Amino acid sequence: MALDAALHVFRAIGEETRLRIMVLLIRGELTVSEITAILGQSQPRVSRHLKILADAGLAERHREGAWMFYRAASGGDAGGEDDDDAARRAVVEAAAALAASGDRLLARDGERFEQTRLARAAQAAAYFEENAQEWNRLRSLHLPEQDIEARILSLADDRQMSLFIDMGTGTGRMLEIFAGHYAAAIGYDLSHEMLSIARANLDRAGITTAQVRHGDILALPLENGAADCVCLHQVLHFLVDPGAAVMEAARLLKKGGALIISDFAPHELEFLREEHAHRRLGFSDTEVEGWCEASGLKLDKVETLSPASGETQKLTVKIWRCLA
């Protein structure tokens, strides 16, 4: 480790408040106002400390509307760690050890972090309760979600992923069910309400390797070939141009990576268009295959999950896997 690199990072962490903040960010993602409430310090002071940590590469930040979120930096790529990465990793490991040390001040911070996490969960639960009747009605239109999720997960073929991307993450459910298969994951959505729910769900599940971000799934801020697997779960039917989402997913995939799409087969339930903003009433295999081919992908596998015989007012769910 170069001396200059080490000094740059250790100067950033060498102050009590910044060390407390770093320990908090190891626990999970927080807004500036949440950190301010936990520490009992002024927002300008907390913001100044966060800037120092971010400039040193110890904290990552992203803006979501009027809010700024912070989390501990993820570190360098495996096999490509430089001196700065090594210094940051040493600090993160030390902060993680401190979090479990039993220090009285850090333990109090941890208790307040848990109160913040529970408050998020309560907000998410209230939103769910407000919309529960309609969501339950939609769930009743197809096979149980656990059956669909099991089939989706089976298409991952137990592959281990460096990066998993969930486009249109909603409640973050795909981030949860794939959690044992990725080193890191990002879920993107345009709905701030759904992102709040997804964060609460990830907190509840204890998943620290996934994060959610506000973003347009047709233009994600990621490099070409960044992901091992991309998921579009019950997203395409909301879009004006579903093929554009498939094209963007293909751009993100590494060679040999997989795109997993789940959506409805063609149907005639017009109330979904009128009451739930479904722009498309399902998709045929031919249509999905055309989008894949236009994006340079090969449709590799198709799964069909049909309702019981005679249930004409229920939906057939399709799952398509396309390989880069």
Structural domain boundaries in the chain: 3-112, 141-323
pLDDT the model gives residue 135: 65
Q: Do β-strands 182-189 and 161-167 pair in parallel, antiparallel, or remain unpaired?
A: parallel
Alpha-carbon distance of 33 to 46, in angstroms, equals 9
Given a cut of 90, is residue 277 above it in pLDDT?
A: no
Kindly state which CATH superfamily the domain 141-323 is placed in.
Answer: Vaccinia Virus protein VP39 (3.40.50.150)
Instruction: Enter the tokens of residue 40.
Output: 């009992």
Alpha-carbon distance of 92 to 23, in angstroms, equals 8
Alpha-carbon distance of 95 to 218, in angstroms, equals 37
The dihedrals phi and psi of 299, each to the nearest 5 degrees, come to -65, 120
Given a cut of 70, is residue 118 above it in pLDDT?
A: yes
Write the single-letter amino acid at 278: H
DSSP assignments along 159-179, one per residue: --EEEEEEET-TTTHHHHHTG
| Contact (CB, 8 A) for 158 and 181 | yes
Residue 299's DSSP bridge partners are 322
CATH class of 3-112: mainly alpha
Residue with tokens 């848990």: 114
| Contact (CB, 8 A) for 93 and 72 | no
Strands (E), 38-79: 59-64, 67-72
- pLDDT digit string (tens) for 10-39? 888 889 999 999 999 988 889 999 999 999
- pLDDT digit string (tens) for 289-314? 999 999 999 999 999 998 876 666 78
Mean pLDDT of 142-153: 88
CA-to-CA dists, residue 117 to 40, 59, 196, 271, 316, angstroms: 17, 19, 11, 37, 37
Alpha-carbon distance of 119 to 70, in angstroms, equals 18
Mean pLDDT of 250-261: 97
pLDDT the model gives residue 44: 94
Residue 187's DSSP bridge partners are 166, 212
Alpha-carbon distance of 90 to 116, in angstroms, equals 27
- What single DSSP character describes residue 71? E
